[in-house]
Structure 1
Amino acid sequence: MATTATLGLLNLLPNPSPNPNPSSGSSKSFLKPPPRRHLGPPQHLLPIAPPLPAAAVAFSLPLFLNPQDALAVGGELGILEGRTFALVHPVVMGGLFVYTLWAGYLGWQWRRVRTIQNEINELKKQVAPAAPTPVAAGADGGPPPPPPTPSPIEAKIQQLTEERKALVKGSYRERHFNAGSILLGFGVLEAVGGCLNTWFRTGKLFPGPHLFAGAGITVLWALAAALVPAMQKGNETARNLHIALNGLNVLLFVWQIPTGIDIVFKVFEFTKWP
């Protein structure tokens, strides 16, 4: 293909007209140049390129006209184009999906630590003040009266207090922060790595649902992480938006799993070990 394009470009180069001998009348008719084809502008307006640069351009131009020859396909990258490297992306992303659910659980538990205290405070406002005892316990020489039975509200307060103590011991705040940092770092890294692996194997990317969903997941990771400073200052809107973005992220993750499985089947079909 490159040779054909080169020969075609050589045929389009202008030929220098012969220099007839003015002293011979018969030679003028013999050396008269053949009629030229009109391929566009008048030929006398086209500059005559020197032979060597014109040949160099003619032989190098097909490299730009046929860029497929420069793509990373055909074994030049070795194992990077093989099946082993191609399966890294689906394995890692499968693990990140499970880790996303785990990070969401940790975040919800930390949210519970904060909201359960608000519930306790609201319940305390509903507790009626205890009536004063007219006679001191044991003042008449008899046994002290039994403690009053706690009301349902007081029992609920005690239950929530014990639950909050157990949640605080779980250190969910620090664990959720660490899980989110790991998810953001490895998620962005593997999202870009998946695109590179596709290019290594095929020489191009394939715009479609899987690629667009992966790009959306990466953007949602970044947006959710960007809300952390506002969340640390107690901004409840930022906290709710953080939860909404991560919930949408999980839905996108689930939605693109079937397309990812189809790609894995194609990897086994068109690649070889290693």
Structure 2
Amino acid sequence: MATTLGLLNIRSLRRKPLQTLAELPSLSKSAKPNLPKHPQNLHLQLYGASYLPLTALTLPFFLDPQDAFAAGGELGLLEGRTLALVHPLVMGGLFFYTLWAGYLGWQWRRVRTTQNEINELKKQVKPVPVTPEGTPVALATASPIEAKIQQLTEERKELVKGSYKDRHFNAGSVLLAFGVFEAIGGGVNTYIRTGKLFPGPHLYAGAAITVLWAAAAALVPLMQKGNETARSLHIALNTLNVLLFVWQIPTGLDIVYKVFEFTKWP
């Protein structure tokens, strides 16, 4: 009996929501929400509406991108004449340092080539005559070839004392590090001051010099293994580097004049 009454109560509770919904007044046309004809486009409208404030905030930066760059002294010394002159001063010093590194490399090459020349001359020396008892016959004067060997041997001893191999390697490492750093730093400084770079002979030559530094340094492992082709290519790349450096000097001086014209201290 109790079970039957419980089931009746449950059924009556289930009917009440249906009756309540039926009694609700129907919505008028004016009260209905203005939904799109295609429900699948609803999420696109909500997505666009949520990003509207972000677009409003970022719009000024897209309309005037120069606001993101230094244009009126906002960065202080980074835009001034002092920092702009660092690049030409450093690169001028690196030019003379390049010549010094080349001299050290040439002297180290002389150490190797002199020894090779001595070895070739020794092959041309005639055997010393000996007596029947096997004693070498003392010659009154040395042959011209032997005199040349003696001269080259003394020269090589002096070259070895100069430690040109280690000095050239150290100079090349310093040149590569500071050269690449300042080559990129010069472009960054120009971009900070003006908001753009200026494609032209100076920029292209500077990029080529930087690439040649890296390429010449990449040949060092092969050179240390005695690869003569790598050594010759190393010399050729650095010779081309020096020629580009010399050719770049006039355009660099023109840029220095413009720095004095359009910048102020400090």
TM-score (norm 2): 0.77
Aligned match for 1:172, one of 147, 164, 171: 164
Deviation at 1:107, TM superposition (A): 0.5
Structure 1 pair 248–51 and aligned structure 2 pair: CA distance change class (3 A): closer
SS in 2 for 1:178: helix
Aligned match for 2:96, one of 98, 105, 108: 98
**RMSD across aligned positions (CA):** 2.6
Partner residue in 2 for 1:257: 249
Partner residue in 2 for 1:125: 123
1:187-202 pair list within 5 angstroms: 187-202=179-194
Q: Distance in 2 between matches of 1:179 and 1:50?
A: 60
Q: Is residue 76 from structure 1 mapped to residue 62 from structure 2 by the alignment?
A: no
Q: Distance in 1 between matches of 2:134 and 2:124?
A: 27
Q: Distance in 1 between matches of 2:48 and 2:208?
A: 54
Partner residue in 2 for 1:227: 219
Q: Which amino acid aligns with 2:94?
A: L
Structure 1 pair 164–63 and aligned structure 2 pair: CA distance change class (3 A): same
Structure 1 pair 50–92 and aligned structure 2 pair: CA distance change class (3 A): closer
CA deviations over 1:192-214 (Å, ceiling 9, x no partner): 11011101211111111101110
Partner residue in 1 for 2:142: 150
Q: Distance in 2 between matches of 1:57 and 1:242?
A: 54
Deviation at 1:222, TM superposition (A): 0.5
The runs of 5 or more residues in structure 1 that have no matched partner are 1-21, 23-46, 138-144
TM-score (norm 1): 0.75
Q: Which amino acid aligns with 1:87?
A: L
Q: Distance in 2 between matches of 1:57 and 1:244?
A: 55
Q: Distance in 2 between matches of 1:58 and 1:146?
A: 102
Deviation at 1:247, TM superposition (A): 0.6
Aligned match for 1:218, one of 190, 210, 221: 210
Aligned match for 1:243, one of 201, 215, 235: 235
Partner residue in 1 for 2:61: 63
Aligned match for 2:151, one of 155, 159, 167: 159
Which moves more between the two structures, 68-77 or 214-223?
Answer: 68-77
CA deviations over 1:176-235 (Å, ceiling 9, x no partner): 000000000000110011011101211111111101110110011001111111111111
Q: Distance in 1 between matches of 2:118 and 2:50?
A: 90
**Large movers: runs of 4+ above 6 Å:** 49-53, 134-137
Deviation at 1:66, TM superposition (A): 1.6
Structure 1 pair 122–54 and aligned structure 2 pair: CA distance change class (3 A): closer
Structure 1 pair 51–214 and aligned structure 2 pair: CA distance change class (3 A): closer
Structure whose CA Rg is larger: 2
Q: Distance in 2 between matches of 1:55 and 1:186?
A: 47
Partner residue in 2 for 1:114: 112
CA deviations over 1:21-47 (Å, ceiling 9, x no partner): x9xxxxxxxxxxxxxxxxxxxxxxxx8
Partner residue in 2 for 1:142: none
Fraction of identical pairs, as percent: 76
